Amino acid sequence: RLRALNRLQVILQHLKMSKQTDSTAEVLLEKKGGAGIITLNRPKALNALNLSMIQQIYPQIKTWEQDPETFLIIIKGAGEKAFCAGGDIRAITAAGKVGDKLSQDFFRGEYRLNNAVGTCKKPYVALIDGITMGGGVGVSVHGHFRVATEKTVFAMPETAIGLFPDVGGGYFLPRLSGKIGYYLALTGCRLKGRDVLKAGIATHFVESEKLPALEKDLIALKSPSKEKIADLLNSYHMKCKIDQEKEFVLDEHMEKINSIFSANSMEEIVEKLKQDGSPFAMKQLETINKMSPTSLKLTLRQLREGASMSLQEVLRMEYRLSQACMKGHDFYEGVRAVLIDKDQSPKWKPAALEEVSDEFVDNCFKPLGNDDLKL
């Protein structure tokens, strides 16, 4: 019987390993050569992250970090359209409405994963081909290398659904040049292709069709250092001529963006946009007027405070904000209007910036005691 039991354990162990590379699994975790490879595998859902994916990826990164035979970690998305379009917002909404623990567990797990990426001791290469938004930014932007392609579409569109640009947005956005990060966070503006590199979000730019070759070359590197990996990425980057001559889409507006978005309050930003009156300013005003006033105020403060915090401090702050949003009104209303009914006309409460009090905003940032995020 003992032998039968042992055999059963061997079989189970084997099944566990094969489950990881089963093409129906939501995330594939494989070791090839000296590389650990994470493939987000929900192409129909644009590779949106759910809690079970997060719970598989986190321990695997930690394991590879300790493994002397793993020299780098690569993360990519399955399918043609997306690297990762964000977190599984519908599941969180459903849970939050009934006070289910998922609305805590999801953010806690996701932010711990973001921190694992940001502190990873092994070189971490994200191939951000296709749509990369929200949660997809969180599992890429904090790593050492982010390779964009002509298909990359970046955005942090959270203010449109009553949330805020989380997953460490409070850390990386205010560190982009000038006030680009504030502009991207508050308006949800989308950047495409080479502009994702020019904004400082990606570190390299490579043709989408060259990614399989790049991945193969990364896997083939023999016990590579971070420098060797950088050299390989640079060589691909240098060869890519797509949109090389094109000027950065925000270049002509940078002066305005820097002056308008350096204001101290949302009301002041709106006032400055009105005073400016240019077509660009009016377009931003129109966009901002559609966003959740509560989200806008939380976001502006999140970025201003995050500018001088460590990634860990930012993620703790963002966890507090996430739980405040789960208790509020706008997140559920935003998800309803944008993702469920798709009528695109959310009824925000409060409906105007002036009605979102400083006291309310302060409360959202308060420590949660024993419930605070532990990293």
Render 14-65 in DSSP notation, one character per residue.
Answer: HHHHHHHT-TTSSEEEEEETTEEEEEE--GGGTT-B-HHHHHHHHHHHHHHH
Q: What is the DSSP letter of 153?
A: E
Question: In angstroms, rounded to a whole number, what is the distance separating the alpha carbons of residues 262 and 224?
Answer: 42
Residue 50 included in any domain: yes
- Taking the mean position of all CA atoms in its chain, how far away is CA 21? 25
Among 200, 356, 222, smallest CA distance to 293 is for: 356
What's the rounded Cα separation, in Å, for the pair 29 and 50?
16
307 inside domain = yes
- The SS3 call for residue 84 is strand
Our count of domains for the chain comes to 1
Amino acid at 150: E
Enumerate residue ranges in the chain where pLDDT < 50: 18-19
pLDDT in tens, 163-212: 999 999 999 999 999 999 999 999 999 999 999 999 999 999 999 999 99
Residue 191's DSSP bridge partners are: 154
Q: Give the burial string for 296-331 (b: 16+ CB within 10 Å, else e).
A: bbbbbbbbeebeebebbebbbbbbbbbbbbbebebb
* Through-space distance between the first and last CA atoms of the chain, rounded to whole angstroms: 44
Structural domain that includes position 176: 25-371
Let me know if residue 7 belongs to a domain.
no
Q: What is the CATH number of the domain that holds 85?
A: 3.90.226.10
The residue type found at 84 is: C
Q: For residue 241, what are the contacts with CB-CB under 8 A and spacing of at least 6?
A: none
Q: Following CA atoms 102, 107, 112, 117 in sequence, which dihedral angle do they give, to the nearest 10 degrees?
A: 120
Q: What is the pLDDT of residue 88?
A: 92
* 312 assigned to some structural domain: yes
User: In whole angstroms, what is the distance from residue 314 CA to residue 324 CA?
Assistant: 15
The reply to whether 5 falls in a domain is: no
Q: Provide the pLDDT for residue 7.
A: 66
Question: Is 129 known to be catalytic?
Answer: no
Catalytic annotation, pick one of 166, 195, 215, 330: 166
Q: Which of 36, 77, 134, 135 is catalytic?
A: 135
Of 158, 215, 318, 330, the catalytic one is 158
Determine, yes or no, domain membership for 4: no
Question: How much is the pLDDT for 24?
Answer: 84
Confirm whether 138 is a catalytic residue: no
Structural domain includes residue 2: no
286 an active-site residue? no
Residue 254 neighbours by CB under 8 Å, 6+ apart: 178, 180
Residue 3 lies in a domain: no
Q: What is the pLDDT of residue 14?
A: 58
Predicted confidence at residue 11, as pLDDT, reads 62
| The predicted structure's pLDDT at residue 17 | 53
Clarify whether 96 is annotated catalytic.
no
